[in-house]
Amino acid sequence: MDIIASKLFFTGIDIGSTMSKAAVVDAEGVMLGYVIGPTGAEHRRRANMVMEDVLAKCGVSLDEIAYIISTGYGRVNVPFADKQVTELTCHARGVAALFPDVRTAIDIGGQDAKVLKIKNGKLVDFLTNDKCAAGTGRFLEVAAETLGLELNEMGRISLQSDTPVKINSLCTIFAQQEIIASLSEGKPLPDILAGVYIAIATRVVKLARQLKVEPPVVFTGGVAKNGGMVKAIEAVLGMPVSVPPEPLITGCLGAAILARDEAFKLINRGEYKLQKKQLSEAYIEFTEKTR
Amino acid sequence: MSDSVAPAKTEQKRAINRLKSMYPLRNLVAQDYINTLQASNEGKPTVWAMLNYWEGDLPLKAMGLNIVYPENYSTLMASSGTAEPFLDASDSDGFPTHMCGYGRSTIGYSFRMMKQNDGKIPPEAPMGGMAKPTLLLGSGIICDARFKWFQALSRYFDAPEWCLEMPMMGTFEGTEPDLEEYQVKFLVRELRDFIAFLEKLLGKKMDWAKLEELIEVGIKIHETCWQIHELRKVSPCPMHSTDFWSSMPPALFFAGDMYEALKCYQDMLTEVQERVKNKVAAINYPEKYRIVFAELPPWHSLKFFDNLAEMGWNFVYESYGYHNPRPPDLSKVSDPVEKLARLSRNFVFNVHPYAKADGIENPIVETYLRIAKGWKADGLFLHPLISCRAASAGLRSVQDQLQKRLDVPTLWVEGDIIDKRVFNPQETLARAEAFEQTMEHYRKVRKSRGLDW
């Protein structure tokens, strides 16, 4: 396996609604590196860019990549992917790779929120938000725009709050009006921000409770980078949550690990198609070793 | 020209293997719209009737009236992609957007006809449109939105509306032994009043022999349908939900010529029996997952089920509210009105005794537990509607109890029956893909519990 590990690599690409991510793993499933960048309007161009970037970062050439899985909203726009897999499956796999005992994962992205129940590393149930941005990162963006803040400074400010403002509206637009009303009433900024986080957390935890939350709970997605949001989720949920060092990459990491599994399945069945030169050598070594 | 194009179309592999016997049943309903337009042109009375679980349909038919069903017409609007302008027309006349899609689309139709088109059928209406009604028959069953909707329609047309009542569904009190006979008496009284009203309105007497005959044909239709759907328990399932939805109006409303409908359903039974014998599936892909659909379908996106069929999803049962139960033995009941009353009441209370025995408080939950077990469901596709409390409120309990009692998981997809703007097929497909992993997991769990699917 040592010879193979140095020559076979696998990539997962997650074209999300806001950010695109890519990761490379080796034959042992160990991550070599990842990249993150904004998605923008041109999914195909973005897919090419993150692929080039991640290969450069990991020092691997495209010919050494045995299998690629794309995931996320834009997964159909990754023409060089060998397979497309839904982001729910990839997230579950990625979270389980980082936290093998995980039972519940809460993921809040730019435009959606999802709750995954995971058992033995596999997705066993899930729920996603429906037709509303109120429990997603978009809600935070609207709040940031309204308050004239950068997204990355909101969490730090909110942590200074001890009496969060109550945001009652379930609608992003109406909540924005409530934020403006709180500002005009002279409520402190940290309390308004903490109120925004609790509003999002309440909505997402309500979704999670439909699936009956079981610990350990892992919190992922771009919104999990926000310390204020982590605190709010823990407070509303009533239990601690773990956050990966980089909560944005669980989808692409899961996709890369699934790519590895898929390629090995094909290789073991003798169905892997030899198209790449360097790969052929590794493939031959692998099949000789396992024969 | 069509001859040269047709063969190329038939060569394409369709994801859902439609029953040939479904098409004549669909055509019977189309004929109703044509007949009603013709009757209206000849100055004959016409009726718009609501789904009333047969108590009103048969007296109307026995009196020789031409009937169309706005609920069915809404589904035609949605499936032909013509509903949106009518929904917008309803909104513009002040009706709320969260109201029932069937109500909104036909209120919009009536508004367009009576307020914007001098009483003529709007040119954008599919199937030639619904003729202006002489009478509206509403029903108190299912929900309050329904009879209020027909009240609104009657104001557009200045036509009388009659509302038939039915004992309340979903309550166990109605199954007490002494109440059953009280309910039958109540329904008989309702029906006699309705028949007296019809006689006065039309200036002619009820044809009692015809009514008796139609009740017998109706019972045979229901018995045949029940037999067809029992055959869907086998694997691979021979009939897809889309075939049920396309062919249900002649059993659900007794739409079309009932004698012809009975023959068509008998043909359908034969075709389904043949498929069972030859192990022919309702999808042209291996049956990977057996899915039950609850409750009202997205009529605007039925082609979406082809995408799921390509993934090996075979929809084996659906929409309990649109299925007739097996008709009770009414051979000893001589009065046709009482017979009709008992036939209709059976829809409301047929599952309650089983629910009681299983200790389940909600009869809808019992229904879906029985369906999931009987039809060996790998998963339930739940379609709650923001615009329909009646068809959606119980679905959370269905979800909970199926998971708890049978380890059958559910896919929750919000949408609407008529308004396609609130349905997201791409997102739903992404969720469906992930749901396969969930179904695989619970297959193993059920096996470990000793369940046989």
Q: Where residue A134 sits, what CATH number does that domain have?
A: 3.30.420.40
Higher pLDDT, B168 or B166: B166
What pLDDT sits at residue A285? 57
CB pairs under 8 A between A and B: 40
Nearest CA in chain A to B400: A210
The predicted pLDDT at position B1 comes to: 36
- A249, two tokens: 């990459």
pLDDT tens, position by position, B399-427: 999 999 999 999 999 899 999 888 888 88
Contacts of B137 (CB under 8 A, 6+ apart): B47, B48, B49, B50, B52, B56, B60, B150, B161, B162, B163, B164
Is the pLDDT reported for residue A124 higher than 70?
A: yes
Query: Between chains, do A85 and B422 touch, taking CB under 8 Å as contact?
Result: no
Q: Looking at beta carbons, which residues of chain A come within 8 Å of B441?
A: 119, 122-124
Asked whether residue A179 is assigned to any structural domain, the reply reads yes
Residues A85 and A105 in one domain: no
For A250, the token pair is 């669980």
Residue pair B317/B241 in contact (Cβ under 8 Å)? The answer is yes
Determine contact, residues B378/B362, Cβ cutoff 8 Å.
no
Interface probe for B, chosen from A131, A170, A207 (most Cβ of B below 10 Å), is A131
**Each residue's pLDDT tens digit, A148-160:** 888 888 888 988 9
Name residues whose C-beta falls within 8 Å of residue B421's C-beta, 6 or more positions apart in sequence. B84
B386: nearest Cα among B416, B424, B419 = B416
- CB contact set of B169 (below 8 Å; sequence gap of 6+): B141, B142, B348, B363
Structure confidence at residue A275 as a pLDDT band (50, 70, 90): low
* Span A207-235, average pLDDT: 92
Can you tell me the distance from the alpha carbon of B160 to that of B137, in angstroms, rounded to the nearest whole number?
A: 9
Q: Based on the domain organization, do A72 and A157 belong to the same domain?
A: no
Q: Is position A79 within any domain?
A: yes
pLDDT at B153: 96
**Is residue A14 within 8 Å of residue A32, measured between CB atoms?**
no
Report pLDDT for B261. Answer: 98
Q: If you average pLDDT over residues B348-376, what whole number do you get? A: 92
β-bridge mates for residue B380, sequence order: B292, B410
If you measure CA to CA, which chain A residue comes closest to B421?
A131
Which DSSP string corresponds to B191-203? HHHHHHHHHHHHT
Domain endpoint, select from A221, A242, A263: A242
Task: Give the range among A116-120, B5-9, B267-271 with minimum mean pLDDT.
Answer: B5-9
Domains held by chain A: number: 2
Residue in this structure with the two tokens 């209020």, named with its chain if needed: B148
Decide if B235 contacts B378 (C-beta within 8 A).
Answer: no
Q: What SS3 class is residue B380?
A: strand
Do A127 and A219 share a structural domain? Answer: yes
Compute CA distances B376 → A57, B232, B432, whole Å: 50, 10, 19
Kindly state the percentage of chain B with pLDDT values over 90: 83
**Domain finish residue from A219, A242, A265:** A242
Q: How confident is the model at residue B451 (pLDDT cuts 50, 70, 90)?
A: very high
Whether the CB-CB separation of B183 and B72 falls below 8 Å is answered with no
pTM: 0.85
Q: What are phi and psi of B57, to 5 degrees?
A: -60, -45
Q: According to the model, what pLDDT value does residue A188 have?
A: 92
Q: Based on the domain organization, do A35 and A135 belong to the same domain?
A: no
pLDDT, chain B, mean: 93
| pLDDT value of residue B7 | 42
Residue A97 has pLDDT above 90, yes or no: yes
Q: Is pLDDT of B63 > 60? A: yes
Asked if residue A96 is part of any domain, the answer here is no
Q: So what's the pLDDT on residue B44? A: 96
More confident residue, B395 or A42: B395
Give residue B425's pLDDT.
87
Name which of B412, B424, B433 is nearest A86 (Cβ-Cβ).
B433
Alpha-carbon dihedral sign for residues B232, B270, B24, B283 = positive
Mean pLDDT of A110-123: 89
Site from B435, B436, B446 to mutate, A interface, most A CB atoms within 10 angstroms = B435
Q: How confident is the model at residue B389 (pLDDT cuts 50, 70, 90)?
A: confident
The mean-pLDDT minimum among B75-79, B174-178, B182-186, B326-330 falls in: B174-178
Which letter does DSSP use for residue B402 in this model?
Answer: I
- Using the predicted structure, report yes or no on whether residue A5 has a pLDDT greater than 80: no
d(C-alpha B361, C-alpha B345), whole Å: 19
Cβ–Cβ contact A127 with B under 8 A:
yes
CB B113, CB B132: distance < 8 Å? yes
> What is the side-by-side strand order in the sheet with A31-38?
A31-38, A19-26, A9-15, A65-71, A83-84
> Same domain for A131 and A221?
yes
Instruction: Give residue-wise pLDDT tens across range B26-56.
Output: 999 999 999 999 999 999 999 999 999 999 9
Predicted local distance difference test score (pLDDT) of residue A133: 67
The amino acid that residue B69 corresponds to is Y
* Cα of A89 to nearest chain B Cα, Å: 6
Tokens at A274, concatenated: 């030899």
For B185, the enclosing helix (H) or strand (E) is helix B177-202
A17 has a chain B CB within 8 A of its CB: no
The DSSP call for residue A239 is S
Mean pLDDT of A213-229: 93
Mutation target to probe the B interface, by most B beta carbons within 10 A, among A14, A17, A126, A127 is A126
Q: Shortest CA distance to B244 belongs to which of B293, B201, B200, B188?
A: B293
The per-residue pLDDT for A210 is 87
Highest mean pLDDT among A118-122, A129-133, B232-236: B232-236
Chain B residues whose beta carbon lies within 8 Å of the beta carbon of residue A125: 409, 438
- What is the phi/psi pair of residue B253, to 5°? -110, -5
Residue B323: band (very low, low, confident or very high) from pLDDT cuts 50, 70, 90: very high
pLDDT at B444 > cutoff 90 = yes
| CA dist A105 → A167, B208, B242, B451 (Å) | 25, 65, 36, 29
Q: Do A140 and A211 lie in a common domain?
A: yes
Segments making up each domain of chain B, as ranges: 14-448
What three-state secondary structure class fits B280? coil
Which of B83, B85, B250, B69 is CA-nearest to residue B149? B69
pLDDT band at A242 (very low <50, low <70, confident <90, very high): very high
Say whether both A149 and A278 belong to one domain.
Answer: no
Interface contact flag, A89 B437, Cβ < 8 Å: yes
CA-based nearest distance A101→chain B, Å: 17
Contact B419, B83 (CB under 8 A): yes
Q: Are residues A195 and A163 in the same domain?
A: yes
Instruction: Locate all alpha helices (DSSP H) within B311-362, ordered by sequence.
Output: 336-349, 352-358
**B175: distance to nearest CA of chain A, Å?**
32
**What pLDDT band is residue B345 in, cutting at 50, 70 and 90?**
very high
Phi, psi dihedral angles at B424 (to 5 degrees) = -120, 90
> B181-202: b or e for each residue (b if 16 or more CB lie within 10 Å)?
eebbebbbebbeebbeebeeee
Strand, coil or helix: A145: helix
Judgement on whether residues A198 and A107 belong to the same structural domain of the protein: yes
Q: Is the pLDDT of residue A6 over 60?
A: no
Predicted pLDDT at B177: 77
Task: Report chain A residues whose CB lies below 8 A from the CB of B433.
Answer: 85-86, 88-89
Q: What DSSP designation does B253 have?
A: T
pLDDT exceeds 60 at position B6: no
How many contiguous H segments (helices) and E segments (strands) does chain A have? Answer: 10, 10
Beta strand spans in A120-216 (E): 122-128
Nearest residue in chain B measured CA to CA from A212 = B400
Nearest CA among A234, A132, A114 for reference residue A175:
A132
Q: Report the 10 Å Cβ neighbour count for B10.
A: 7
pLDDT cut 70: percent of chain A above it: 89
Q: How many CB atoms lie within 10 A of CB B203?
A: 6
Confidence of residue B340 (pLDDT cuts 50, 70, 90): very high
- Over residues B286-317, the pLDDT tens digits come to 999 999 999 999 999 999 999 999 999 999 99
Q: Which domain holds residue A115?
A: 101-242
The verdict on residue A275 lying in a domain is yes
pLDDT of residue A290: 47
What is the rounded distance in angstroms from the CA atom of residue B26 to the CA atom of residue B247?
6
Taking an 8 Å cut-off on Cβ atoms, the answer to whether A124 and B438 are in contact is yes
Evaluate whether A51 touches A65 at the Cβ level (below 8 Å). no
| pLDDT, mean of residues A197-218 | 91
Q: What is the dihedral of CA B122, B128, B134, B137, to 10 degrees?
A: -100
Whether residue A9 is found in the same domain as residue A87: yes
Average pLDDT over residues B244-258: 97
- At residue A2, the pLDDT reads 41
Residues A86 and A139 in one domain: no
Amino acid at B194: F
Q: Please check whether residue A6 lies inside any domain of the structure.
A: yes
Domain identity same for A143 and A220: yes
Closest CA to B61 of B198, B232, B222, B248: B198
**Interval B370-378 mean pLDDT:** 97
The helix-helix angle for A137-147 and A172-184 (nearest 10°) equals 30
Report the alpha-carbon distance of residue B291 to residue B279 in Å, rounded: 18
